Structure 1
Amino acid sequence: MGDQLEPYVLIKKNGLTKPYKSISREEFQKFKKLNGLLRDFERTQGILPLVESNASALDNYVSKIEKQNHDLSIKRLEILKLNDEVNRKLLNFLASGRLYLDHTETRLKRSYGDNSKEAERFDSITSEAYDDFFAYRFFYQLRNYVQHCGMGIDFISNYSSSKRIPGHIDSHKINIQFSPKRLLQDFDGWKHVKNDLKKEGDRIDVYGFASEVTRILKEINIRIYLAELSKLQEAGNWIVDLVEDVFESGGQPQIATLDKNGSILNANILVPALDVIQVLGVINFENNSSKKSEEYFPMFGFCFKLSWNKSIKQFEITCPSVSELKVTDKKKEKVIDKAEVRFKEILQKHLEQEIRSPVPLPWRKQYKLIVGNI
């Protein structure tokens, strides 16, 4: 930053943007760092829907081919076209899955440090998934295989006769699978997966593989998110403290550098990640709807639904992730307090009885419910 530039909090109000208060350069640099942390987190969360979409595309295409009764005279060129399309969808899935893992690891190390608790937590959670799930181990090493040896998918023709007449064929189905034997022959870098492949026999179905890996990646993401939540909330709280008086003035805050003439340099205008901060539960932007409308709000990294129950004429709170949570009260503040107490009780019960803890909704789903209501 040149000596002629000074950082300011701006206020955007009634269509106009103007300087509101000056801040120190140290505050400006800290804002950039913390706001960047929140935006980086948000961008990483945006990769998981891509992973899920690619998994669905692969499974749907495989299912379509395997269910279809193909013409007995289908040419090899047509089989190759089908094979190419399946492999393309597999590559998309593998690339997006590894993209999520690589970006998450890089983000955590860049944000908190290579030896931080957050980075160590990532290593611990992913190592646990690698040890516990064959699908995850296979996915992790399969990306290395396709980079060095090509695709591991085989198309196997399955002919049969519905009339059970010797020599009569009226059905031609295609099975799509990975061949463990060929995978082992072509590649020496399977590491711990080598023994797994030897145990799998002649085939591993392609259908369902990507969906299972996606489920595991989503669980990894949720565990990392909950472990990181307090740090993200700390960042959000600091930013809110910096610009809270702008809200109180009825405006929207921005951060920018001004030259000595007070001109706003558009290239240097930074917008606080208030939407992310809201979903993290740091700040709540009340909507102006009546008490009878439903709204969603965050707490402890989970998403809660607040609505007006007409039959009992009370506010009601439920949680999409916790079916047993349901509290009511005539006052909005009290029903929220009740929900917090009840949620803690449920978590404690799960901990004491060693029951699997509730799982938050995916980040993008929470974002849509919470921010989308405003």
Structure 2
Amino acid sequence: MEELHLGAMSAQDSETTQVLGVRKFSQEEFLQYEEHNKTISFHIQNKKLYELIVKNGEELEGFINKIYITPANEIGMTPETIIFETNRLLMNYLSMLRTYDDHISSSLSAKFSDEVKEGFKKFLSQLYDDFFEYRFLSRLRNFAQHFKIPVTGYINSVDGNSIYMGKESLLTYRKWSGVKDEIEQMDEQIDVQGFAAEMNNIMKLAYIYVLDLYANDVMDAYKWLESLYKELDNKHPVLIKIRPGDQENGTLNVVPMNTNMFLAATRDLNDHPNFNINS
């Protein structure tokens, strides 16, 4: 039967490490480690999905800004190519917004409960009510997925460049709900620039809301790991799996712990306004 032991790993030189067995690692401790791992994995999912939103939004805004500040004779793209590329980047961005909602909702239900998931949904509904950009882009995603390509035009003039969505084209869609009245008040040519930048700021509120649900669990994981480091005189903790015959054969199955992920997740708590971590 396989046994788990706690080990301490230390560097002997630039190419050699030494692992020393310290004591048995109980089943209870292993279950604790697994639970902490689940928390850290959930955080990584939340963070990476949020970062994908931000990255896609920055790419969209960066492309638009480049077109706007570059003289027409230096852009090197036809108007058709500019419209195509803007649509590609915008639709990628809209898709990521929905992906964050779907993935986080499902994971919250699995990690916590359906009630926690519903709380997240209510928070998103509040964002919808509070911010026009959230309402507009949420409905625009449905428009782009089920009805039409959103970006329809590009203008180059002495007053500057503009990549836009035609208001008349948008209003042919019947499922804008209350957002229709707001669109009717907008310019005939609705400039694409700025929507993603503002939405990135709004989605940080969603990221922080989810982070708040498990922030204390991340701190518990960090304190648990910190106690192991203290026990091992600041050497890196590892798990050693010992099977019958391994000691006689002089073989060790060393499994590193996810210490770097634990520490990175703890530092990420600085994104939360109520934490100030210097780990």
Question: If the length of structure 2 is used for normalisation, what is the TM-score?
Answer: 0.79
Q: Any idea what SS the aligned residue of 2:115 has?
A: coil
Counterparts of 1:173-192 in structure 2 under 5 Å?
Answer: 174-185=161-172, 187-192=173-178
Q: Which has the larger radius of gyration?
A: 1
- Cα 1:64–1:41, aligned 2, differ >3 Å: closer, same or farther? same
Higher relative contact order (CA 8 A, sep 6+): 2
1:253 and 2:240 are equivalent in the alignment? no
- 2-structure distance, mates of 1:146, 1:188: 13
- Cα 1:200–1:299, aligned 2, differ >3 Å: closer, same or farther? closer
- Cα 1:280–1:148, aligned 2, differ >3 Å: closer, same or farther? closer
Taking only aligned residues, the RMSD between alpha carbons, in angstroms, comes to 3.3
Q: Any idea what SS the aligned residue of 1:254 has?
A: strand
Unaligned runs of 5+ residues in structure 2 are 12-16
- 1-structure distance, mates of 2:3, 2:239: 11
Per-residue deviation, residues 225-256 of structure 1 (Å, max 9, x unmatched): 23532233234334444x24543x34111235
Aligned to 1:47: 49
- 1-structure distance, mates of 2:198, 2:85: 21
- 2-structure distance, mates of 1:112, 1:23: 27
Aligned to 1:106: 106
Q: Any idea what SS the aligned residue of 1:60 has?
A: helix
Per-residue deviation, residues 181-214 of structure 1 (Å, max 9, x unmatched): 31232x4443443333333352322000100100
Aligned to 1:234: 220
Name the one with the larger helix percent: 2
Q: How far is 1:20 from its partner?
A: 2.3
AA aligned to 1:255 is L
- Cα 1:177–1:274, aligned 2, differ >3 Å: closer, same or farther? same
Q: Any idea what SS the aligned residue of 1:211 has?
A: helix
Given that 2:4 and 2:25 are in contact with CA atoms closer than 8 Å, whether structure 1 keeps it comes out as: yes
Moved more, 127-136 or 59-68: 59-68
1:279 and 2:267 are equivalent in the alignment? yes
Q: How far is 1:280 from its partner?
A: 6.7
- Cα 1:172–1:204, aligned 2, differ >3 Å: closer, same or farther? closer
Counterparts of 1:152-171 in structure 2 under 5 Å?
Answer: 152-157=150-155, 171=158
Counterparts of 1:343-362 in structure 2 under 5 Å?
Answer: none
AA aligned to 2:111 is S
Q: How far is 1:7 from its partner?
A: 2.6
AA aligned to 2:67 is I
Q: Any idea what SS the aligned residue of 1:302 has?
A: coil
Aligned to 1:79: 79
Unaligned runs of 5+ residues in structure 1 are 160-170, 282-295, 304-369
Given that 1:66 and 1:175 are in contact with CA atoms closer than 8 Å, whether structure 2 keeps it comes out as: yes
- 2-structure distance, mates of 1:155, 1:10: 63
- 2-structure distance, mates of 1:96, 1:152: 16
Q: Any idea what SS the aligned residue of 2:8 has?
A: strand
Say how many residue pairs are matched: 267
Given that 2:124 and 2:206 are in contact with CA atoms closer than 8 Å, whether structure 1 keeps it comes out as: yes
- 1-structure distance, mates of 2:113, 2:240: 28
- Cα 1:145–1:270, aligned 2, differ >3 Å: closer, same or farther? farther
Given that 1:12 and 1:18 are in contact with CA atoms closer than 8 Å, whether structure 2 keeps it comes out as: yes
Counterparts of 1:306-317 in structure 2 under 5 Å?
Answer: none
Question: If the length of structure 1 is used for normalisation, what is the TM-score?
Answer: 0.61
1:270 and 2:257 are equivalent in the alignment? yes
- 2-structure distance, mates of 1:210, 1:176: 14
1:225 and 2:211 are equivalent in the alignment? yes
Given that 2:60 and 2:196 are in contact with CA atoms closer than 8 Å, whether structure 1 keeps it comes out as: yes
